[in-house]
Amino acid sequence: MNLGVLISGNGSNLGAILDAIAEKRLDARVAVVLSNMAGAGGLARASKAGVPRVVLSHRDFEGRAAFDAEVVRVLREHDVDLVVLAGFMRIVTSVLLDAFPSRVVNIHPALLPSFAGTHGQRDALAYGVRISGCTVHLVDTGTDTGPILAQAAVAVAPDDDEAALRQRILAREHELLPTVLQWFAEGRVDVEPSPGARSRVIVRGVRTAFGLAIE
């Protein structure tokens, strides 16, 4: 399974994917890392792992669709099977989604459908929830609205600030994302498209609790 990992920042989830591959917990290869930010820390991780890197600034394109068309070209050039949005801070269009139907995955730092958007941890904290977590889901044209593949929960401590909660959630992200990618690698994920409604996702042979597989 060839992964195309899209990033904008630090790339710790990319690092978790690369670690899982190195430790043979994930039967895949990262075929290309694409960043829309030239300074993204994740590019250094990719370089260290010998993974091809591509920087595409969205500012060089007239609109999201034109940018996504070039993203698709790069992903196809590298024979990508599954696209992973790992801290990619751009809304994607149907240009990308139609090129990789039911094969674009995102990780979000909150328990969707609560706290979608850019500040999942901050919004959860401000709301006063006692439990938060992370969600891996298929991407659709909405913001963090696609069918959920798996979730993992963390407790929110009374004295948590945003940074503390972010770190606690990130630790779970780093477990959850490679786990879900391995489900794809094993061909366990079936998606039943439902025109006009939410697609149904079935993960065969895996019972889950808090995003952890129970065998």
CB-based burial label for 3 (10 Å; 0-12, 13-18, 19+): buried
User: x-or-dash pattern for ligand GRF, window 44-73, by CB under 6 A?
Assistant: ------------------------------
Q: Find out whether 78 and 2 touch, Cβ atoms under 8 Å.
A: yes
Interface with ligand GRF includes 36 (CB under 6 A)?
A: no
Distance of CA 64 to the CA centre of its chain: 19
- 119 is an active site residue: no
Q: Count residues contacting ligand GRF (CB under 6 A)?
A: 15
Nearest to 72 by CA among 46, 54, 95: 95
Distance CA 137, CA 152 (A): 12
The active-site residue out of 78, 108, 119, 137 is 108
Q: Find out whether 36 and 90 touch, Cβ atoms under 8 Å.
A: yes
Distance CA 74, CA 201 (A): 28
Interface with ligand GRF includes 19 (CB under 6 A)?
A: no
Interface with ligand GRF includes 172 (CB under 6 A)?
A: no
Interface with ligand GRF includes 109 (CB under 6 A)?
A: yes
User: Which of 6, 34, 37, 107 contacts ligand GRF by CB under 6 A?
Assistant: 107
Residues of the shown chain interacting with ligand GRF in the complex, contacts defined by CB under 6 A: 7, 9-13, 42, 86-87, 107-109, 134, 170, 173
Hey, which residues are catalytic here?
A: 108
